[in-house]
Amino acid sequence: MSEDVRELTEEEKADKERRKIKSAGAMRELMTKYYIEAKGAEGTKRHIAWITSGAPVEPLIAFDVIPVYPENHGAMCGAAHMNVELCEVAEGRGFSRDLCSYARGDIGSAITRGGPIGGLPRPTFLVACNNICNTVFKWYEELARFFDVPLFIFDTPFVRGELPEHLAAYSVRQMHEYVSFLEKMTRKEYDDARFVDVAAKSLFASALWKEVLACNEHRPAPMTCFDAFILMAPIVTLRGTQEVVDFYQGVLEEMKRRIEEGIGILPSERYRLLWDNIPVWYEMRNLGRLFMELETCLVADTYTSAWTFEGVDAEKPLESMARIYTEVYLNINLERMADKIESLATRFGVDGMIMHSNRSCKPYSLGQYDLAKEFTRRTGKPALIIEADHTDSRWYDRAQVETRIRDFVENLLGSGL
């Protein structure tokens, strides 16, 4: 029985409070302030841009544009169990249920102003980058028609193996075209000093985030990747600002303090697992309870590390940004994905991997069966694939998923195979 179901003893309550991550409160304050500012800017002279999660946000910050992320909003709607009704609005307009549930929910929210914060502020323009998927093309074209606003598409060709120079050069040209688009939209000239300052803050915050995630290499882990899914909101949304740098410095200090004091996120950590794909947002609480009961910590994942940048040339921030955004996890071939998964498994000392086969996120889920076999071949560790959808709970069978996870942990990991 989980500690949230039966009444806890005073000692257990004190231990639970001791293990609680305090930075989560600071994160909520930061994001609440951000959304209040963004919604307050609607109808003013301040520009608002809706942008995909994988697109370069730093130029927007440098041009004093407020970035707004429909995917972040979709995660909020999913966690609040409100996305299905928004998806149904889009489906009622003819959008297929097989499309991304972030896209369907976002279109439904744009039509109804629905969701936990009453919808997103109307955009001045849109920015979509196809490094995460090609659905964003049609999704943002639909938004551009709906709001009657300009759309900039940042095109990133798929990278097979190492990034060839001609693709790197093409990505840099995309970055220059992006800057020209912003000059036209904002009627401001590009300020190189301002961009360098924003890029430096973005890279510094990314480095801090990378250190935060690396803290989970320690046993017991000071947090689970479910905590990381929550704490990543600022690095996705507001990287390039001093507030985000300050926030992740605070998170890192807390994680280091937890390690020094031997505070694990679970009362008992027996097994360590790697998670692949976007979270099942509406089921985080229940899955978290299940893994705690099984004394199993999800210590690393392939999702949150997408915002840890490497190979940066501080002297050439624009070029570095172009290269970084072209080589994100979902824009590389399976062999490089397998290399990354193997590296995470080794660094974090995992006993196995759970892969979320995401019903409406094809780019993330395509090839998972091959990756699972390759993971086991390289590491000797087992992998489990569960089926769900990141925000559409109609595709989720809780009893089936929990039974499979329980069997995987108790029988397969417990047997030492």
Count the Cβ atoms, other than its own, within 10 Å of residue 93: 11
Which residue from 30, 44, 231 is spatially nearest to 121, judged by alpha carbons? 44
Contact 409, 296 (CB under 8 A): yes
Q: Output the CA angle 341-344-345, nearest 5 degrees.
A: 85
Which residue from 163, 205, 160 is spatially nearest to 336, judged by alpha carbons? 160
Which residue from 39, 53, 56, 102 is spatially nearest to 76, judged by alpha carbons? 102
User: What is the pTM assigned to this prediction?
Assistant: 0.92
Phi, psi of 229 (to 5 degrees): -60, -35
Interatomic CA distance for residues 353 and 340, integer angstroms: 13
pLDDT tens across the length of the chain (417 residues)? 444 556 878 888 888 888 999 999 999 999 999 999 999 999 999 999 999 998 999 999 999 999 999 999 999 999 999 999 999 999 999 999 999 999 999 999 999 999 999 999 999 999 999 998 989 999 999 999 999 999 999 999 998 989 899 999 999 999 999 999 999 999 999 999 999 999 999 989 999 999 999 999 999 999 999 999 999 999 998 999 999 999 999 999 999 999 999 999 999 999 999 999 999 999 999 999 999 999 999 999 999 988 887 766 777 878 888 888 898 888 899 999 999 999 999 999 999 999 999 999 988 998 999 999 999 999 999 999 999 999 999 999 999 999 999 999 998 776 655
Alpha-helical regions (H) of 310-396:
317-326, 334-348, 362-365, 368-379
Contact 136, 332 (CB under 8 A): no
CA–chain centroid gap for 319, Å, is 24
